[in-house]
Structures are given as structure tokens and as C-alpha cells.
Amino acid sequence: MARHVVLDEECCIGCGTCAELCPDVFEMDAEAEKARVIRSEGGDEECIEDAITSCPSECISLGGLMQKKSS
């Protein structure tokens, strides 16, 4: 079981900080001019924590537990 990355896209102001800090998990959606999660199962936890604490709109969080799919 792992926690998943949650980004409130309604709240996002499109600053791009999360995508710069953690490009394996976030990217900028050029059309919407907002960030989006591209890897909800997460990645480098330090990187994700940096993105969470650096988000000026406080739009990023770690959600509840999610079951990993079996390989």
C-alpha cells in the first residue's frame, strides 16, 4: 500500500514550481496553464515533500492509501 499524490487543479495558479522540483511526478499542462500529476503513485518522497511545501497555493497533498497493482 502506498499514498498517492493529489493536486487540486482548481486551486493551482500555474506557477510551475512543482514541475520544476519534481518532474517525474508533475508536469505543466500548456493548454490549461496549470500543473497536473503524471505519476499519482508518487516517486522520490523528498522531492514530493519539497513540492508540497513550496506550492504557494497549497494545492498538493498526499492522499489516502492506494493499493499497488501487482506486476
pLDDT category at 42 given cuts 50, 70, 90 is confident
Section 20-26 average pLDDT: 96
**Amino acid at site 33:** E
Cell output for 51: 513540492
**Amino acid at site 37:** V
- pTM for the whole thing? 0.83
Domain residue ranges of the chain, discontinuous segments joined by +: 2-57
Q: Which residues make beta-bridge pairs with 61?
A: 6
Place of cell 498517492: 4
Q: How far apart are CA 69 and CA 53, in angstroms?
A: 29
Domain 2-57: which CATH number of 3.30.70.20, 3.10.310.10, 3.40.50.280, 1.10.1660.10: 3.30.70.20
Helices vs. strands in the chain: H and E counts, helices first: 2, 4
